[in-house]
């Protein structure tokens, strides 16, 4: 369908199991350069596992990942992760957290410093360089997290439920901010979320994963125009897309919830 030359990230035949538990089963996905992909799916379907393999934190059993046609293994600064939890180093100021990726890769030169500074401005944290994480709100911390990931100028940005710990208002603000920042550089983004409306609002394509073992059930293009204001969430088209996706995973989510409950009950005995 799309030109192979434009493929930024290629995931081929990815399989991963933990002991007898098959987490990912022969997963294939091509992501175009500059594309914003949202990944949704029921809890436990392997989203985080996929992201960890992409980040090089976990080894796949089978299959591989290619970025710009090069196979990648292990962590590297061609990818950067924005994690769900607060993963800032508490003993480093905002500035020193932002540049740690550069520092680790020995790339902390004047030009990259300047770039990191411009990123802090972009995420709205200019003037907070000397602050420590505990002096910031949750939303601000997640902005630093984002700046830290962008600072290494990754080819692909990986995000695992980055806003799930934020309150509803901050979350919406961060969604708008993320889009604004993304429009500036058009990075290739893989964004995991549980919130379908978040996925639709942000993404060019929503990839729906089925219940474990993780397989792609459906890839839905989101044709909403950009830039997208928050009000777009109230349009009929938006609601229709959310409904479609919800219907796709409803059955799976119900099953995985009841499985989880069963597991908890067994654990409680």
Using CB under 6 A as the criterion, which residues of the chain lie in contact with ligand ATP when the complex forms? 18, 21, 23, 41, 43-49, 212
The two structure tokens encoding residue 21:
């538990």
State the binding partner of 56 from ligand ATP, other proteins, Mg ion, none, CB within 5 to 8 A by kind. Answer: other proteins
The two structure tokens encoding residue 261:
């409950």
State the binding partner of 123 from Mg ion, ligand ATP, other proteins, none, CB within 5 to 8 A by kind. Answer: none
Bridging pattern class, strands 188-192 and 156-160: parallel
- Residue 128 CA to residue 117 CA, distance in Å, equals 11
Stretch that binds Mg ion, among 33-41, 46-54, 125-133, 205-213 (CB under 5 A): 46-54
Q: Which is nearer to ligand ATP, 195 or 244 (CB)?
A: 195
Residues whose CB falls within 8 Å of the CB of residue 248, separated by 6 or more in sequence, listed in order: 208, 217, 218
Residues whose CB falls within 8 Å of the CB of residue 136, separated by 6 or more in sequence, listed in order: 94, 128, 144
Q: Which is nearer to Mg ion, 44 or 133 (CB)?
A: 44
Stretch that binds Mg ion, among 42-50, 127-135, 212-220, 261-269 (CB under 5 A): 42-50
Are 188 and 111 a contacting pair, CB within 8 Å?
no
Under DSSP, is residue 226 helix (H, G, I), strand (E, B) or coil?
coil
Beta bridge partners of 33: none
171 is an interface residue for other proteins by CB under 8 A:
no
Dihedral, CA of residue 144, residue 58, residue 102 and residue 100, to nearest 10: 50
70 is an interface residue for other proteins by CB under 8 A:
no
Q: Which is nearer to ligand ATP, 41 or 60 (CB)?
A: 41
60 is an interface residue for other proteins by CB under 8 A:
no
Beta bridge partners of 27: 14
Q: Which is nearer to other proteins, 131 or 246 (CB)?
A: 131
37 is an interface residue for other proteins by CB under 8 A:
no
Stretch that binds other proteins, among 9-17, 133-141, 171-179, 214-222 (CB under 8 A): 133-141
Task: Write down the least CB distance from residue 47 to ligand ATP, Å.
Answer: 3
State the binding partner of 43 from ligand ATP, Mg ion, other proteins, none, CB within 5 to 8 A by kind. Answer: ligand ATP
DSSP 149-205: HHHT--SEEEEESTTTTS-HHHHHHHHHHHHHHHHHH--EEEEE-S-HHHHHHH-SE
48 is an interface residue for Mg ion by CB under 5 A:
yes
Q: Which residues bind other proteins (CB under 8 A)?
A: 55-57, 74-77, 79-81, 83, 85, 87, 89-91, 100-101, 103-105, 132-135, 152
Q: Which residues bind Mg ion (CB under 5 A)?
A: 48
């Amino acid at each position: 369908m799309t030109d192979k030359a434009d493929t930024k990230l290629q995931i081929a035949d990815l399989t991963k199991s933990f002991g007898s538990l098959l987490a990912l089963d022969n997963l294939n996905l091509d992501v175009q350069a500059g594309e914003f992909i949202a990944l949704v799916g029921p809890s436990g379907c392997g989203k985080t596992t996929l992201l960890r393999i992409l980040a090089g934190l976990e080894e796949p059993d089978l299959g591989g990942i290619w970025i710009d046609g090069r196979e990648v293994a292990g962590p590297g600064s061609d990818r950067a992760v924005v994690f769900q939890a607060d993963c800032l180093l508490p003993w480093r100021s905002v500035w020193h957290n932002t540049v740690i990726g550069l520092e680790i890769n020995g790339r902390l030169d004047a030009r990259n410093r300047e770039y990191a500074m411009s990123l802090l401005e972009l995420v709205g944290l200019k003037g907070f360089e000397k602050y420590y994480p505990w002096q910031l709100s949750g939303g601000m911390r997640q902005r630093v997290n984002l700046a830290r990931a962008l600072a290494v100028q990754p080819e692909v940005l990986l995000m695992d439920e980055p806003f799930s710990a934020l309150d509803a208002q901050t979350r919406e603000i961060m969604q708008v901010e993320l889009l604004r920042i993304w429009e500036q550089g058009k990075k290739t983004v893989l964004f995991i979320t549980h919130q379908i409306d978040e996925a639709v609002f942000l993404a060019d394509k929503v990839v729906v994963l089925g219940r474990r073992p993780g397989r792609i059930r459906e890839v839905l293009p989101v044709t909403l125009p950009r830039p997208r204001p928050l009000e777009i969430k109230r349009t009929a088209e938006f609601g229709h897309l959310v409904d479609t996706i919800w219907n796709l995973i409803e059955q799976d989510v119900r099953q995985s919830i009841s499985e989880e409950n069963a597991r908890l009950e067994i654990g409680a005995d």
